[in-house]
Amino acid sequence: MQRRPLLALLLTTLVALGACAPTTEVAAGPAACVSDPIPTVAVVDFQNTSSQGGVSVVGVEDAATARLITLLKESGCYVVVERSELLTIMEKQGLESLDPVDLAKAAGAGYVVTGTVTRATVARPGGSLFGVTLGQTKAQIEVDVRATDIITGVVVVSMKGSGEASSPNINIDNVPLAGTVAYNDPTVGPLFAEAANSAVSQVVAALRAKF
């Protein structure tokens, strides 16, 4: 006669334990592609207008272009026309340069993406105390990117992305105060790479949200 109360108590305990059990959240995967079928995109080499006195970063435009292409490919949402293919088309046309839209049309692309590196700076820490440098060496990169619909000629995305990276563990004697520094400089190159990746990732997110 005591089995039913015991059974009821056991069921109540199991329900309570279930309610208190931690829940497992499923991590969100990458966003689905907006367009089906996926579009063909031609990416034209970025320009570099960041030289405004101080230190000029050489090669950052090529690195930003390459990073954009990589992220577009990794998304699986685009057929990307490589820069080498665009150069081949230009050679066949016998031209040193070609309007980006015309170039994309010749490549069979539905969109053309153009960009400019508008800022690329590296700054030393601002002060020192008892001969010890205070603060961090900082790199900043900004890009301005546009995507144009080849058929309509409409700019469907106009996006500015910015990124920065800093580190206290850099020998400031190797950070130039003026002149030029290569994007892949062994001292500050990793900072440039991190800042550029952040800036370009913002742009790619805007492109993926649109087409």
Cα separations (Å) of 170 from 125, 153, 165, 176, 198? 10, 46, 12, 12, 21
- How many structural domains does the chain have? 1
Has residue 15 been placed in a domain? Answer: no
Question: 96-141 pLDDT, tens per residue?
Answer: 667 888 888 888 899 999 999 999 988 877 655 444 445 788 999 9
Has residue 17 been placed in a domain? Answer: no
Has residue 42 been placed in a domain? Answer: yes
Residue 125, preceding peptide bond in cis (omega within 30° of 0): no
Has residue 119 been placed in a domain? Answer: yes
Has residue 21 been placed in a domain? Answer: no
Quickly count: other Cβ atoms within 10 Å of residue 6's Cβ. Answer: 9
Cα separations (Å) of 16 from 4, 9, 21, 22, 209? 18, 11, 9, 12, 43
Question: 145-182 pLDDT, tens per residue?
Answer: 999 999 999 999 999 999 999 998 787 777 777 788 88
Quickly count: other Cβ atoms within 10 Å of residue 199's Cβ. Answer: 28
Has residue 8 been placed in a domain? Answer: no
Has residue 61 been placed in a domain? Answer: yes
| Virtual torsion, Cα 127, 50, 48, 209, nearest 10 deg | 90
Has residue 86 been placed in a domain? Answer: yes
Yes or no: say if 127 and 56 are a contact pair by the CB < 8 Å rule: no
CATH number of the domain that residue 70 is part of: 3.40.50.10610
Of the candidates 117, 135, 144, 132, the one whose C-alpha atom is nearest the C-alpha of residue 58 is 117
- pLDDT at res. 180: 87
Question: 64-93 pLDDT, tens per residue?
Answer: 999 999 999 999 999 999 888 888 888 887
- Domain around 162: 36-126+133-210
Yes or no: say if 120 and 192 are a contact pair by the CB < 8 Å rule: yes
